[in-house]
Structure 1
Amino acid sequence: MPAPSAEPLTITLPDSRRLGLTRYGNPAHPAVIFHHGYASSGLSVPPCAELLAELQVQVLAPDRPGAGQSDVDENLTLASFAADVALAVQALRVPGKLGVTGWSAGALHGMALAALYPARVAALHLLSPILPFGDPAAHEEFTIGWKAVRYANEYLPALGKRAFAEISEEWHEQPDASIDKFLTLIFGPPEQVVGFEPANRALLRDAAVQGFTHEGQGVYFDSRAICRPLSFSLSAIEAPTTIWQGTADTIWPADSLHYLTDRITRAHLRLLPDEGHMLYLKHWEAILRQLRAEMG
């Protein structure tokens, strides 16, 4: 019997917290770990059942603490979540080495997993990655807007926690209006959003609704985690690393990514002309094919 296209899973961690994951594909196959973006969840993986069967690979998409079925972790760090994922992979008896990927803020969690568990990771793909907010060297590459976000997160945490609770309520009460606001933020004026595929709109909407469970606490603590100083070195990443970046990305400028290529020994920047921050949705097949080839 074929595996379901999206199978919800829950792992109980040693400290009794629940870690929710979504599995796509056959559990007997090697796994690609997909780290979702900020304020999202493991439901943001594009449907690709036939491709997974062809490649003989599964995708495991964990929900970070406070998203979906994952319990809130007030002490969340990049390193602690990497440990959560490593425990889940062990509990699920995933065979072989892992392909690891992460979109946007999820790329930071992908880097942590690859740096802290190098023996388990065969390849790392960073999709429209952001830079670690907790590294002063990365901070030099930030736009004024991102520097303001960093400042607010560090010095106005109570304000942020209330704001995420209000945003969570909006996502659950008005999911369609909320996704339209999000797409306008990504793409610009509403007329530029018209061509966005309805299936992708629904995918991101449902993933964000799950991301804003627990009154937005998960998003709040995730924002705190990505602003902490790194407890690992990017030079510890041994796996071949591909950075997928669009030249038209309005969220994070491509010219700042030398920060990553300077520090990750085997990193390669793959620039895609005229693509924006959500390029992974369009290029998911190419990403998976390359990852699977690198996994052996």
Structure 2
Amino acid sequence: MSTEVNRIFFSFPSEILGTTLAVLPFGFIAWAYKAIRPPRPKICGSPDGPRITAPRIKLRDGRNLAYKEHGVPKDAAKNKIIYVHGFDACRHDAVAYKNLSPDVVKDLGIYIVSFDRPGYGESDPDPNLTAKSLALDIEELADKLGLGTKFYIAGFSLGGLAVWGCLKYIPERLAGAVLVAPPFNYWWPGFPRNLTNEVFYKQKLQDQWSLRVAHYTPWLTYWWNTQKWFPSSSLIAGSMDILSSHDLELLSNNKRSDRQSYVAQVRQQGLYGTVHSDLNVGFGNWEFTPLDLENPFPNNEGSVHLWQGVEDLLVPVETQRYIAEKLPWIHYHEIQDGGHLFPHANGMVDTIIKSLLLGK
């Protein structure tokens, strides 16, 4: 071979290598972008989305909010309650009604409306969801359904964060409020560092990292909870390890639950607008903390109640005690042997609702 041919022949692999090395970063970027970008939600009523089966109201920004009514007829009700469901649930999971005695409903004239939080069930996702936007959704739901100038608000588990939002942004609309085992945002300012560190590190390591991702890099929440390299949120995975013995006993006693008939609806529009959004909003940066709130009922015209199980492995009882100590206008109730699911115990919801409506 001539010298020129040899030069071209032996330099060819290095040119390929150089080109490959130059292209690789772009390939990696394309792969990474696809991996961290959540798929588009399957909007209910769209050509590729689930069908609409629930009554819905249209909100100020064009989104739809699905709801379900329970109890006595609205026009005959003495007490009207909006119920906010917890993590990975929907309007059908109205614990405040499902476990409520019919006699209590009748005697106190209780009407309850539960709704799918944005992205869940048949409610449209809200890409700009915040504690404030959800409080305004709740206010608009009350107005569209004609619940009057004042109504009660009740929230279980992560739904309790919505109640904090209502106490902040629409306190004048509330006749009373109850929070049942509301989660604690470990990045809320104003709480003692030794307290937040103590309860944060009690969690499983994989849950510590899931919450860190949601707080510091929310744009990675979808990737973190769908990748297979590291354990992700045990709550999203439905792990039983995060439930107390009391919770497991309650689950065992409620095997005939009708939840299987609608559980597929909960995440039917996608993971990102439901459980992932809950992590990002619940543990992101808030404009306020519970410690910033003022008593919405200075003349005792209503009351705010906070219920917590001592043996709850999901929500630390220590933080609820601190909030109750700093906000003495909150009526604080502890269930000594209660886990996170203590409202499912016989008679518990009757006690909770009576305390809310009768101020006991």
Once residues 35 and 289 of structure 1 are traced to their aligned partners in structure 2, the CA distance between those partners, rounded to angstroms, is 18
Once residues 207 and 179 of structure 1 are traced to their aligned partners in structure 2, the CA distance between those partners, rounded to angstroms, is 18
* Map of 1:27 onto structure 2: 74
CA displacement 1:52-110 (0-9 Å, x = unmatched): 23321111112111001110111100110000110110111003522211111111111
Compute the TM-score of the two structures, normalised by the length of structure 2: 0.68
Bigger CA drift: 107-116 or 238-247? Answer: 238-247
Q: Quick one: which of 34, 55, 63 aligns to 2:116?
A: 63
Instruction: Say whether the 8 Å CA contact 1:100–1:114 is kept in structure 2.
Output: no
Bigger CA drift: 115-124 or 10-19? Answer: 115-124
Q: Quick one: which of 341, 350, 357 aligns to 1:285?
A: 350
CA displacement 1:176-224 (0-9 Å, x = unmatched): xx99945553236998577331244x43x56653331211122222221
Once residues 335 and 59 of structure 2 are traced to their aligned partners in structure 1, the CA distance between those partners, rounded to angstroms, is 39
Instruction: Say whether the 8 Å CA contact 2:163–2:177 is kept in structure 1.
Output: yes
263 and 206 in structure 1: CA distance in 2 versus 1, 3 angstrom threshold: farther
Look up the equivalent residue of 1:222 and give its one-letter code: D
1:294 shift after superposition:
3.7
Cα RMSD (Å):
3.2
Once residues 166 and 344 of structure 2 are traced to their aligned partners in structure 1, the CA distance between those partners, rounded to angstroms, is 22
Q: Secondary structure at the match of 2:270?
A: helix
* Map of 1:43 onto structure 2: 92
Once residues 45 and 190 of structure 1 are traced to their aligned partners in structure 2, the CA distance between those partners, rounded to angstroms, is 18
* Map of 1:9 onto structure 2: 55
1:134 shift after superposition:
4.5
* Map of 1:210 onto structure 2: 265
Q: Quick one: which of 224, 231, 238 aligns to 2:296?
A: 238
Once residues 101 and 325 of structure 2 are traced to their aligned partners in structure 1, the CA distance between those partners, rounded to angstroms, is 36
190 and 267 in structure 1: CA distance in 2 versus 1, 3 angstrom threshold: closer
Q: Quick one: which of 149, 153, 173 aligns to 2:214?
A: 153
Instruction: Say whether the 8 Å CA contact 2:189–2:289 is kept in structure 1.
Output: no
Once residues 266 and 245 of structure 1 are traced to their aligned partners in structure 2, the CA distance between those partners, rounded to angstroms, is 16
1:77 aligns with 2:133: no
Identity of aligned residues (%): 20
Instruction: Say whether the 8 Å CA contact 1:134–1:226 is kept in structure 2.
Output: no
CA displacement 1:222-265 (0-9 Å, x = unmatched): 22111233324532341422111112111122122134224435
132 and 189 in structure 1: CA distance in 2 versus 1, 3 angstrom threshold: closer
Unaligned ranges ≥5, structure 2: 1-52, 228-234, 298-302
Once residues 41 and 16 of structure 1 are traced to their aligned partners in structure 2, the CA distance between those partners, rounded to angstroms, is 21
* Map of 1:267 onto structure 2: 330
Bigger CA drift: 276-285 or 132-141? Answer: 132-141
Bigger CA drift: 85-94 or 139-148? Answer: 139-148
1:275 shift after superposition:
0.9
Unaligned ranges ≥5, structure 1: 1-6, 167-177
Q: How does 1:64-143 map to 2 (within 5 A)?
A: 64-95=117-148, 97-138=150-191, 140=193, 141=196, 142-143=199-200
207 and 115 in structure 1: CA distance in 2 versus 1, 3 angstrom threshold: farther
Look up the equivalent residue of 2:159 and give its one-letter code: G
Q: Secondary structure at the match of 1:43?
A: coil
